[in-house]
Amino acid sequence: MNWIEIAGHTGAFLSSVTFIPQVYKAWQTKSVGDLSLAMILIVITSTVIWLVYGVSLVLWPVIIANTIIFFLASLLLVFKLVFK
Amino acid sequence: MNWIEIAGHTGAFLSSVTFIPQVYKAWQTKSVGDLSLAMILIVITSTVIWLVYGVSLVLWPVIIANTIIFFLASLLLVFKLVFK
């Protein structure tokens, strides 16, 4: 694995875990008023589209990263709708 | 352009604009307490790594999308540090 591939895998990993601290914070505080609902909906929509793309071309990093992001963003959406 | 390419471009576009509504909301409300600082820092770090990857392989969608995300996430970081 050369350094460009390492950069790609590192980027995919970081993108996958992006929303973990936000989900954790929202769960801890039960406060989501400052979170943009539009942002969450865009993230969910984009992951679905990236999954279509990734599955079509059998790009596993794209599939795995977007599956994780989809799950985390969906959790954020539930928190956004449940916590007031 | 086939439908897979259209999906890729649509995904890249949506990923690029993800943080626009969040930046707008933070600017309007001047309230960022519910935003995770760790999330913002992960986004900035990942875009820098994706830019290294994109520039190395001359992947313009990766370069353009991550430049936009880097700019928006940096704005969010400034808001997070300035607004209390």
Q: Which residue has the tokens 């790594």?
A: B49
* pLDDT tier for residue A44 given thresholds of 50, 70 and 90: very high
- Pairs of residues, one from chain A and one from chain B, whose beta carbons lie less than 8 Å apart: 96
Looking at domain A3-82, its CATH architecture is Up-down Bundle (1.20)
* pLDDT tier for residue A61 given thresholds of 50, 70 and 90: confident
| ipTM, 2 dp | 0.89
Q: What is the pLDDT along chain B (84 residues), one digit of tens a residue?
A: 899 889 989 999 999 999 999 999 999 999 999 999 999 999 999 999 999 999 998 888 889 999 999 999 999 999 999 997
What are the tokens at A2? 């050369």
Tell if the CB–CB gap between B33 and A34 is shorter than 8 Å. yes
Helix (H, G, I), strand (E, B) or coil at A20: helix
Cα-Cα end-to-end distance for chain B: 47
Q: What share of chain B is helix, strand, coil (3-state, %, to 5)?
A: 80, 0, 20
Rounded to the nearest angstrom, the minimum Cα separation between B39 and chain A is: 5
